[in-house]
Amino acid sequence: MLVRIPGVLTQDEVAHCRQVLEAAAWVDGKVTAGQQSRQTKHNLQLGEQSAEARELGEFLLRRLGTNELFVSAALPLRIYPPLINRYDEGMEFGTHIDNAIRPVPGLGVRVRTDLSATLFLTAPEDYDGGELIIEDTYGEKRVKFAAGDMVLYPATSRHRVEPVTRGSRWCSFFWIQSMVRDDGARALLFDLDGAIRSLRGREGDTAEAVQLTGVYHNLVRRWADV
């Protein structure tokens, strides 16, 4: 399941992030790459322990915590502190799969990467190329969203970032361990939650809406690990 989450950040918030990043020090993106992806990863990243990365990461986590669509789609248990990357002209990231388990630096906890997320921080008209290509069972999806929008996709997917041919593409990226590990089960819950929301919006809390809400929570109880 690939989900677009629009407006995670407002345009003012994107501008604020970009302002912080203008002054930041960037390092080679290979620092967080696995053995295989290191060979195809050609980009820059904000140092994971840098003050800017922490500030922006915490800011983004606060926004995500109150984003109903994100919570419904991801059912997050743990979120890896958001990282920031940058692809200047000629940079790219070849086809790879993200590591399954990520230790969170300094915290002594690990995140099983059920979902990958990319939040766009550059307007699509400001760069050429740089599409995130995600392979799923229906074929390839080409993702290049508005600044402030985010894509959420199963971390089991092979994916790549096309070479940037003009401008510079800035994004935040991170991983989520979901309370519901199975992507199919999570997709069903997301679908059911969406239907219940629109039913309640149209008809109010009818007996059927209450019953369906009960079904939703009982499925979460059955499938969730917390």
In the complex, the smallest distance separating the C-beta of residue 114 from Ni ion, rounded to whole angstroms, is: 14
Instruction: Find the part of the chain contacting Ni ion (CB under 5 A) among 52-60, 94-102, 128-136, 217-225.
Output: 94-102
R_g of the chain computed on alpha carbons: 18
Q: How far apart are CA 103 and CA 115, in angstroms?
A: 15
Indicate the residue among 72 and 175 with the shorter CB distance to Ni ion: 175
Instruction: Find the part of the chain contacting Ni ion (CB under 5 A) among 14-22, 58-66, 90-98, 146-154.
Output: 90-98
Backbone φ, ψ for residue 60 (5° rounding) = -65, -40
In the complex, the smallest distance separating the C-beta of residue 69 from Ni ion, rounded to whole angstroms, is: 22
Indicate the residue among 33 and 189 with the shorter CB distance to Ni ion: 33
Please say whether the beta carbons of 100 and 115 come within 8 A. no
Q: How far apart are CA 183 and CA 206, in angstroms?
A: 30
In the complex, the smallest distance separating the C-beta of residue 37 from Ni ion, rounded to whole angstroms, is: 7
Residue nearest to Ni ion (CB): 98
In the complex, the smallest distance separating the C-beta of residue 124 from Ni ion, rounded to whole angstroms, is: 20
Q: How far apart are CA 219 and CA 95, in angstroms?
A: 35
Name which of residues 95 to 154 contact Ni ion (CB under 5 A).
98
Cα separation values, 49 from 15, 88, 119, Å: 22, 22, 20
Q: How far apart are CA 115 and CA 119, in angstroms?
A: 13
Indicate the residue among 98 and 193 with the shorter CB distance to Ni ion: 98
Q: Does 162 bind Ni ion (CB under 5 A)?
A: no
Task: Tell me which residues touch Ni ion (CB under 5 A).
Answer: 98
